[in-house]
Amino acid sequence: MKTILHCDINNFFASVEVILNPELTNKPVIVCGDPENRNGIVLAKSQKAKECGVKTAETLAIAMKKCPDAILVKPSYATYITYSKKFFNICFQYSNLIESFGIDECWIDITHLVSKNKKEYIIAKELSRRVKNELGLTVSIGISFSKTFAKIGSDYKKPNCITEITVDNHQSLIYPLPIETLLNVGCSMKNVLHKFNVFTIGDLANLPEEIVVKHFNKNGQDLYLKAKGINDDTIESIFDKKNLPKSLGNGCTLSEDIFTYSDASKIILALSQYISFRLKAKNFLANGVKLTLKLSNLKVISKQSLGNNSFNSADSIKFISLELLSQIYNLGGSSLGIKAITIHMLNIQSININQLSFLENLKFLNNLETKVFDIKKKHGYDKLIRGTDMENNINLKLQKIEKEKFFSFQVFDVDF
């Protein structure tokens, strides 16, 4: 039987901001996109802000009502990537069998390290202590014979805790938890399972397997096996090229439908920045973008663009996505709004980002001005501006400044 750790850095973005500015220690910190204007969404929060009820991805207006004394800071993406790589470097000193589950968490197979003289808890404690001493960050760690149980273990007690879920105690610890605690159980699957009186992980695990297969097919069977901790110990090493995702992306379902190009641009910008962040953290490049929209009538439309040059910058993703948006949907010219937006990066390559040549960047910048011009021409000069122009009083006089409207949304991964 294998021994697997799941390591999750506590409040990663906010914790790094505290390291950069120690005066924020033990204070309610919210990392958000636009602290100056006090709008946008919550990207991350410190433990103190979490204790006030602040949730990731909710609007800043809602968060500030819960925590009026919160300190707002801009995200430091480059620094987050640096700390992420240092975290993984520490993990690699324990095993080469590491599977990333984001920039701040991973599974580690430590079966080869466990012995009578060195138990798994001691190894986890040592790793936790190293991350704290070397990076100034805390991690919550789950230990189990199953990846799913290890992940649940790292969430079981936070922050800076270690939870062991074993063959002997997993039914008492895991089975009473809500069914949505399992990975890949979203709102739709949860509602379907509830109709069959499956409300907890134990409810699913105790069903006859043939009933699960009959009603839920292979996806249901996979969940059933995970609920029992069976066939769930294979680490897909990030060193294995065959484990490269075919695509990588994120999407969001909006709290209310949007009807303007300006509102859609804000969502696309937020998604582009986060996707770029994920690509760079993994040293991934892509040479294509696919934009998918779900409309008010639940119709799904999409379009993709493939190029010769690889990239991973937020600007590249954003401008290509905006161009695709203008091609597939006439915002403002339809009674149908947009309910959800998803961006996929296509043809993922595991290449050192330094291999992007100066010439390729130059080609992109030359094309960029043309794309900006086309978008401004079609939708209006004030519909797309540089961030630096927001501080330029002369430019502001040329533009009609309206009160910005922000929407709460939950960002979800759509890698495959």
Write a three-state SS string for the chain. CCCEEEEEECCHHHHHHHHHCHHHCCCCEEEEEECCCCEEEEEEECHHHHHCCCCCCCEHHHHHHHCCCCEEECCCHHHHHHHHHHHHHHHHCCCCCEEECCCCEEEEECHHHCCCCCCHHHHHHHHHHHHHHHHCCCEEEEEECCHHHHHHHHHHCCCCCEEEECCCCHHHHHCCCEHHHCCCCCHHHHHHHHHCCCCEHHHHHCCCHHHHHHHHHHHHHHHHHHHHCCCCCCCCCCCCHHHCCCEEEEEEEEEEEECCHHHHHHHHHHHHHHHHHHHHHCCEEEEEEEEEEEECCCCEEEEEEEEEEEECCHHHHHHHHHHHHHHHCCCCCCCCCEEEEEEEEECCEECCHHHCCHHHHHHHHHHHHHHHHHHHHHHCHHHCCCHHHHHCHHHHHCCCCCCCCCCCEEEEECCC
Q: pLDDT digit string (tens) for 358-379?
A: 334 444 444 554 555 456 455 5
pLDDT at 58: 81
- Angstrom distance (rounded) from CA 315 to CA 330: 22
pTM (2 d.p.): 0.64
Q: pLDDT digit string (tens) for 5-14?
A: 999 999 999 9
Q: Which homologous superfamily is 244-413 in?
A: DNA polymerase, Y-family, little finger domain (3.30.1490.100)
pLDDT band at 410 (very low <50, low <70, confident <90, very high): very low
Task: Answer whether residue 17 shows pLDDT above 90.
Answer: yes
pLDDT at 415: 55
pLDDT band at 310 (very low <50, low <70, confident <90, very high): confident
Which two structure tokens, joined as six digits, stand for 188?
């739709």
Question: How high is the mean pLDDT of the chain?
Answer: 81
pLDDT at 383: 55
Which two structure tokens, joined as six digits, stand for 104?
């701040």
For the chain, the domains span 1-166, 175-238, 244-413
Q: pLDDT digit string (tens) for 218-251?
A: 778 888 899 999 888 888 776 665 566 778 888 8
* Residue 128 CA: distances (Å) to CA of 6, 9, 26, 90, 364: 11, 10, 20, 10, 43
pLDDT band at 120 (very low <50, low <70, confident <90, very high): very high
pLDDT at 390: 45
- Angstrom distance (rounded) from CA 235 to CA 2: 10
Which two structure tokens, joined as six digits, stand for 118?
């060195």
In this structure, CATH architecture of domain 175-238: Orthogonal Bundle (1.10)
Q: What angle do CA 157, 61, 391 make, to 5 degrees?
A: 115
- Angstrom distance (rounded) from CA 61 to CA 42: 10
Enter the CATH code of domain 1-166. Answer: 3.30.70.270
Task: Answer whether residue 414 shows pLDDT above 70.
Answer: no
Q: pLDDT digit string (tens) for 377-409?
A: 555 545 555 553 443 333 333 333 233 333 344
C-beta contacts of 152-155 below 8 A and 24+ residues apart: 152/177, 152/181, 152/182, 153/6, 154/6, 154/7, 154/8, 154/105, 155/8, 155/181
pLDDT at 32: 85
Task: Answer whether residue 160 shows pLDDT above 80.
Answer: yes
Say if CB 344 and CB 249 are below 8 A apart. Answer: yes
Phi, psi angle pair for 13, to nearest 5°: -55, -50
Q: pLDDT digit string (tens) for 262-304?
A: 888 888 988 898 898 888 877 788 889 999 999 988 889 999 9
Q: pLDDT digit string (tens) for 78-97?
A: 899 899 989 999 999 999 88
What mean pLDDT is predicted for residues 20-42? 83
Positions annotated as catalytic residues are 105
Q: What percent of the chain has pLDDT over 70?
A: 81
pLDDT at 387: 52
End-to-end CA distance of the chain: 28
pLDDT at 81: 87
pLDDT at 404: 33
pLDDT band at 190 (very low <50, low <70, confident <90, very high): confident
Please, what's the b/e burial string for 146-159 (b: 16 or more CB within 10 A of its CB; e: otherwise)? bbbbbbbbbebebe
In this structure, what is the dihedral angle of CA atoms 196, 197, 199, 205, given to the nearest 10 degrees?
-70
Sign (positive or negative) of CA dihedral 222, 223, 227, 229: positive
**Beta-ladder partners of 345:** 248, 289
pLDDT at 39: 60
Which two structure tokens, joined as six digits, stand for 362?
């130059």
Say if CB 139 and CB 8 are below 8 A apart. Answer: yes
Say if CB 379 and CB 325 are below 8 A apart. Answer: no
Phi, psi angle pair for 289, to nearest 5°: -135, 135
